[in-house]
Amino acid sequence: MLTVDDSWVWDFWLADDGERFHAFYLQAPTDLGDERRRHRAARIGHAVSSDLSSWEVLPGPVFETGAPGDFDETATWTGNVVCGDDGLWRMFYTGSRFLGEEPGMANIETVGVAVSTDLMTWEKRPGPITSADSRWYETWGTSTWKEEAWRDPWVFRDPSGVGWHMLITARSTEGPIDDRGVIGHAFSADLETWEVGPPLTSPGEGFAHLEVPQLELVDGRWVLLFSSTADSMTSARAELYPEAGTWAVVVDDAVGPWSLAAARPVSTAHHYSGRIVRNRAGDWSFLSFANAGPGRPFVGGIDDPVAFSIDEHGRPALAQRVGHG
């Protein structure tokens, strides 16, 4: 398990340089006292591993927040890393700019990028590079929702080999306040210039937000993962899945639109923000962070991997249930 002394650790994303796995994760110092304060203090940490279980924590953060007025002036949040055709690694990450005093969550979220030649030293580029487009997405002040949601970018190459897609945690302009969660979308031909488009899912699927989306081709089938707990669902969906954490669903293709009707939880809320990655044997592994639970305060840390596959019924499944203990 990946833990960091004197820090809370939560959302994370992974990169593989062929020799080592790199985990980038959100962390904040426990001396803040109240774990609810961690979101405003989040910085991106870095650790490396050869097996996804034993980790070496590196000095950090990988970069600092921006100056006052910048899109990432308060905190740097969840993202992912890809390597472009130019050999340059790019970290797409969420910049958070808080508008009010603690403990509120009023903030504007946008996406920025940093670049690296070696996954070790990162240089932020001017941003944001994408933000919520009010033609399709809820923006600050247009509803009673706590934030302008445009976070957790997941960037992947188009299956054709031409261009790149970005999935984003976003909210629609339509529907009841607790049922507007969608997967936002942007496209780029070159990883430099991005065009925001309509979402790849529809509101009304039972979610207030769909966090940390990921799309991967597993055994010839596209699998979409996202995370949502009962307190960020409609009451009807929460009643069906009161312990849900990370969800998964097989989708028809990589570019949508997608229905979430067949989505089911693969972990409970105790193990959240799940990601899948190929291990050195070429098999898929599922990792998540250790979330709080009843009578258990938030500590965080990235759990050891669990085997992930498509079962005999064509559904995403883990080798063991994750979420209790």
Q: How confident is the model at residue 103 (pLDDT cuts 50, 70, 90)?
A: confident
Please check whether residue 325 lies inside any domain of the structure: no
Please check whether residue 2 lies inside any domain of the structure: no
Q: Output the 3-class SS for the chain.
A: CECCCCEEEEEEEEEECCCCEEEEEEEEEHHHCCHHHHHHHCEEEEEEECCCCCCEECCCCCCCCCCCCCCCCCEEEEEEEEECCCCCEEEEEEEEEECCCCCCCCEEEEEEEEEECCCCCCEECCCCCECCCCCCECCCCCCCCCCECEEEEEEEECCCCCCEEEEEEEEECCCCHHHCEEEEEEEECCCCCCEEECCCCCCCCCECCCEEEEEEEECCEEEEEEECCHHHECHHHHHHCCCECEEEEEECCCCCCCCCCCCEECEECCEEEEEEEECCCCCEEEEEEECCECCECCCECECCCEEEEECCCCCEEECCCECCC
For residues 77 and 13, give the distance between their C-alpha atoms in angstroms, rounded to a whole number. 11
Residue-wise pLDDT tens digits, 184-222: 999 999 999 999 999 999 999 999 999 999 999 999 999
Please check whether residue 117 lies inside any domain of the structure: yes
**pLDDT value of residue 101:** 81
For residues 229 and 210, give the distance between their C-alpha atoms in angstroms, rounded to a whole number. 9
54 phi, psi to nearest 5 deg:
-100, 120
Q: Please, are residues 283 and 259 in contact by the beta-carbon 8 Å criterion? A: no
The pLDDT > 90 percentage for the chain reads: 92
Residue 288 has pLDDT above 70, yes or no: yes
**pLDDT value of residue 72:** 98
Any idea which of 178-192, 275-289, 290-304 has the lowest mean pLDDT? 290-304
Exposed (0-12), middle (13-18) or buried (19+): which is 268, by Cβ within 10 Å? buried
Strand order across the 271-278 sheet: 271-278, 284-290, 306-310, 316-318
Please check whether residue 323 lies inside any domain of the structure: no
Please check whether residue 132 lies inside any domain of the structure: yes
Q: Are strands 284-290 and 246-251 parallel, antiparallel or unpaired?
A: unpaired
Q: Please, are residues 65 and 35 in contact by the beta-carbon 8 Å criterion? A: no
| Across 289-315, average pLDDT | 89
Give ∠ CA 53-15-112 in degrees, rounded to 5: 130
Residue-wise pLDDT tens digits, 2-51: 999 999 999 999 999 999 999 999 999 999 999 989 999 999 999 999 99
Q: How confident is the model at residue 324 (pLDDT cuts 50, 70, 90)?
A: very low
- Number of domains present in the structure of the chain: 1
143 phi, psi to nearest 5 deg:
-155, -175
Residue 115 has pLDDT above 60, yes or no: yes
Q: How confident is the model at residue 292 (pLDDT cuts 50, 70, 90)?
A: confident
Report the mean per-residue pLDDT for the chain.
95
> What pTM value is reported for the model?
0.96
Any idea which of 101-115, 180-194, 236-250 has the lowest mean pLDDT? 101-115
**pLDDT value of residue 294:** 66
Please check whether residue 324 lies inside any domain of the structure: no
Residue-wise pLDDT tens digits, 51-82: 999 999 999 899 999 999 999 999 999 999 99
**pLDDT value of residue 244:** 97
Please check whether residue 268 lies inside any domain of the structure: yes
Domain containing residue 12: 7-318
More confidently predicted of 102 and 162: 162
Please check whether residue 45 lies inside any domain of the structure: yes
Domain with residue 218: its CATH number is 2.115.10.20
Q: How confident is the model at residue 321 (pLDDT cuts 50, 70, 90)?
A: low
Q: How confident is the model at residue 325 (pLDDT cuts 50, 70, 90)?
A: very low
